[in-house]
Structure 1
Amino acid sequence: MTRTDQFYAIIVAGGSGSRMKSDIAKQFLPLRGKPILQHTIEQFLAYSDTMPIRLVLPERDLPIWETLCAERRFRPANVTTVIGGASRFQSVRNGLASIPIEADKAGLVAVHDGVRPYVSPAIIAESFATASHRGSAVTCVPAKDSVRLVDADGRNTAVDRARVRLIQTPQTFRLDWFRQAFAVAEQPHFTDCASVLEFANYPITLIEGSYENIKITTPDDLK
């Protein structure tokens, strides 16, 4: 059954510059004249300039982002800044806590990495459409390279790459599922929201992403 949904987005931007070998957090690095994070937000604004967006940042980075926004006069009215936590799990949970609980009855939430600036409005739209019908929509692409699985003892075995998907964001879910899943105890192995929902026994539906929807993490990614 199709649900009547209120859409929300949580954009998580808590990275540092360590793997980028930069003193500046990677989400603030310039890309084609704008901070990477601004490009990412603008893709969501291109999908909807009224959908409430929660931008989750470390408290230490708030002055940097405020300065960049002031310099560029970038003040979208539907973007609210939320202070992140010590881990990605905690940061997403903080973003979720800022969404009114009354929205859970018919709401959807998309979680996206702040350093994936090439996500398309079409992928965002598909994630909401699929989650509206299926409860979840996790963006992914097929593996191109051969894949081997390594165990704790260093032994490795081949894996059929046709069965492997590389997970991206956005990852979009029913808000009621999402809030219930994030009420579980924090687990250190959670690297994305799909893992949290799966741990809480909710089904995960995969949707097609794009090889262009890269996560900018290293200098080669930025090039």
Structure 2
Amino acid sequence: MSTIAVVLAGGTGLRLGLGAPKQLATVGGRPILARAIEAFDSAPEIDEVLVVMAAGHVAEAEVIAKPYAKVRRVVEGGATRTESTLRALAVLEEEPGDARVLFHDAARPFVDARIIADCVAALEREDVVAVAVPSSDTVVVVEGDRVVEMPPRDRLRRFQTPQGFRLAVIRAAYERALADPGFAERPPTDDCGVVHRYLPEIPVRVVSGSEQNIKITHPVDLLIAEQITARESAPGSAG
């Protein structure tokens, strides 16, 4: 049974104000994309890595990915997260349904070995696994400018990536999604959301994430990322 990591690097970096995809930006002197790839390339649980890169930047991603032996291929992503996932599934068309696949946002360059190992271990027993951390904020539901619901914080989690699946399950979820005329009008924000909506009978197992597994989206996130890398390279650090 193979375990494949899909590094989704289709983001444009508009909210960062960059002229190129944010995955090509550097933190600690290295491209964000390189850090994300290396996390999976160095994980003993991972057999192959597939990179899905923003349109027009595949050649740059191939240069970044070249040192990593497990990278199977770099392909061009779509205009949306859903399209990029579907392109990855097309590349994996010949893989058996019991293969394990982890989808990871390249914009999370600090995913650690423990999270990857926990996801793969959970997929020994489960069909779907998500990574999450407790919410440190009170999250409210708002309609217009009025709070209409305040869910108990101790039940709330913030999703991260990777998200793991048996390949047959994520294929089936997207087949149902694409058959739904309303899917494009209300697309889920991640792949677990597709399974939850279209295969509600399949439970999503949650494993613990890490506060360091941040997603680089806004300019302040780059500052935080630089602090993380500085701490990793400090004398006496484990990194």
TM-score, normalising length from structure 2? 0.83
Q: Is 1:88 aligned with 2:81? A: yes
* 1:118 match: secondary structure: coil
Tell me if structure 1 keeps the 8 A contact 2:32–2:109: yes
> Mind listing any 5+ residue stretches in structure 1 that lack a counterpart?
none
* 1:170 match: secondary structure: strand
Residues 173 and 24 from structure 1, CA distance in 2 versus in 1: closer, same or farther, beyond 3 angstroms?
Answer: same
Residues 165 and 50 from structure 1, CA distance in 2 versus in 1: closer, same or farther, beyond 3 angstroms?
Answer: closer
Residues 50 and 197 from structure 1, CA distance in 2 versus in 1: closer, same or farther, beyond 3 angstroms?
Answer: closer
Matched residue, 2:228: none
Tell me if structure 1 keeps the 8 A contact 2:52–2:88: yes
Matched residue, 1:179: 171
Matched residue, 2:32: 36
Residues 178 and 50 from structure 1, CA distance in 2 versus in 1: closer, same or farther, beyond 3 angstroms?
Answer: closer
Tell me if structure 2 keeps the 8 A contact 1:49–1:78: no
> Mind listing any 5+ residue stretches in structure 2 that lack a counterpart?
224-239
Q: How does 1:41-60 map to 2 (within 5 A)?
A: 41-48=37-44, 51-60=47-56
Aligned amino acid, residue 90 of structure 2: A
Matched residue, 2:119: 127
Cα distance, 1:48 vs. partner? Answer: 3.2
Q: Is 1:64 aligned with 2:77? A: no
Matched residue, 2:193: 195
> Segments of 4+ in structure 1 off by > 4 A?
none
Aligned amino acid, residue 121 of structure 2: A
Cα distance, 1:63 vs. partner? Answer: 3.0
Which of 16, 19, 35 is the aligned partner of 1:20?
A: 16
Post-superposition Cα deviations, 1:76-123, rounded to whole Å, max 9, x if no partner, equal 23211122112111101111111143421x211100000101100110
Distance (whole Å) between structure 1 residues aligned to residue 123 and residue 198 of structure 2: 17
Tell me if structure 1 keeps the 8 A contact 2:45–2:117: no
Post-superposition Cα deviations, 1:133-183, rounded to whole Å, max 9, x if no partner, equal 0111100000001221112x3321322111110000000011111111111
Tell me if structure 2 keeps the 8 A contact 1:140–1:165: yes
Distance (whole Å) between structure 1 residues aligned to residue 119 and residue 46 of structure 2: 17
Matched residue, 1:169: 161
Aligned amino acid, residue 146 of structure 2: R
Distance (whole Å) between structure 1 residues aligned to residue 219 and residue 41 of structure 2: 27
Tell me if structure 1 keeps the 8 A contact 2:177–2:194: no
Matched residue, 2:92: 99
Q: Is 1:210 aligned with 2:210? A: yes
Aligned amino acid, residue 139 of structure 1: V
Q: Number of matched residues? A: 213
Distance (whole Å) between structure 2 residues aligned to residue 82 and residue 114 of structure 1: 14
Residues 33 and 56 from structure 1, CA distance in 2 versus in 1: closer, same or farther, beyond 3 angstroms?
Answer: same
Of all paired residues, the percent bearing the same amino acid is 33
TM-score, normalising length from structure 1? 0.89
The RMSD of aligned alpha carbons is: 1.7
